[in-house]
Amino acid sequence: MPAVDPAILTQSGNTGMTLKTYNVPMIYDLHTHTSASDGSLAPCELLALAIEHGVGVLAITDHDTLEAYDVIRSAESSPLQIVQGIELSTTWAGRGIHVVGLNLDAHSKPLLAGIARQSVARIERARKISRRLARSIGIDDPFESVLAIAGASAIGRPHFARHLVAVGVVKDTRTAFRKYLGAGKPGDVRDGWAEMDEVIGWIRGAGGTAVLAHPAQYRMTNNKLRLLLEDFTAAGGGAMEVVSGSQTPAVTENLASLARDFGLAASCGSDFHHPEQTWSLPGRFAELPANLKKVWELW
């Protein structure tokens, strides 16, 4: 069952029916991606899919960009409540870490300056990935081709994966990550990003809440994750994703316990990228455990 929060719906009209109120679930999906970064759906297509799956509150958290919100603002009104968000890349102890910013001011000068800095770092990272792949695989430098694939989107490893499929190096993008782009592989470039305390500062400077994204995906020991959370909270982090897409109940309970221990609010999201990835469709994730402060209660 998706994460819920009570919302009141009133049934009325000119049918002569007695007015009744119902408690209905409000589904919060606070981590999704569009074609502005490494998702496959345009922003308005994501909105339509989220509505189809019953999402009531949606945050688009594209990597290091807010461009999806420019498209949404120019579109027709939507029944969804939109929370402005972003996912910012950083490093901690030599590991790539992602921090989601939620409920932020998209016009914040510190945030916009930070995004501009990340954009430069993203391009330089792409050049480095290109050189590494060319050396390790023995292909021509793919940078220009990958840049064309990304188009106006924030360039990232999924665009390299699509290129490797297109030139016949691998059969699918999953294999591209397994062999060449995943953790510890030639295309796994982590340097160049701003430090975690800087990223959190940009989010807080924009009036937003900094959320540690998908902590279970970092494959850390519990002790290592606790060290990360100590630094995250010390830097001003306010929440962590206790539920991120499809995960086991044991993982959820462990993350819930850590959130309680560190006084962090709980967030949840699908981490949606592509509709064919059925394990991460909008709104399709488990309910947040009880007795946790929800991140939306901070706003």
8's tokens: 């009141």
Contact call for residues 103 and 208 (beta carbons, < 8 A): yes
For residue 77, is it within any domain?
yes
For residue 103, is it within any domain?
yes
At residue 21, what are phi and psi to the nearest 5 degrees?
Answer: -120, 145
For residue 101, is it within any domain?
yes
For residue 15, is it within any domain?
no
For residue 11, is it within any domain?
no
Longest dimension (CA), the chain: 74
pLDDT confidence of residue 135: 94
Mean pLDDT value across the chain: 89
Average pLDDT over residues 18-24: 39
Q: How many domains does the chain have?
A: 1
Average pLDDT over residues 35-63: 95
pLDDT digits (tens, 9 = 90+) for 247-284: 999 999 999 999 999 999 999 999 999 999 888 999 99
Cβ neighbours, 10 Å, residue 2: 22
For residue 6, is it within any domain?
no
Contact call for residues 210 and 203 (beta carbons, < 8 A): yes
pLDDT digits (tens, 9 = 90+) for 210-248: 999 999 999 999 999 999 999 999 999 999 999 999 999
pLDDT confidence of residue 176: 94
Range of the domain at 220: 22-298
For residue 215, is it within any domain?
yes
pLDDT confidence of residue 23: 46
CATH number at residue 94: 3.20.20.140
For residue 142, is it within any domain?
yes
Cα(168)–Cα(160) distance, integer angstroms: 12
Among the listed residues 273, 286, 210, 276, the one whose alpha carbon sits nearest the alpha carbon of residue 34: 273
Cβ neighbours, 10 Å, residue 170: 19
pLDDT confidence of residue 72: 86
pLDDT digits (tens, 9 = 90+) for 79-136: 899 999 999 999 999 888 999 999 999 999 999 999 999 999 989 999 999 999 999 9
Cα(76)–Cα(237) distance, integer angstroms: 34
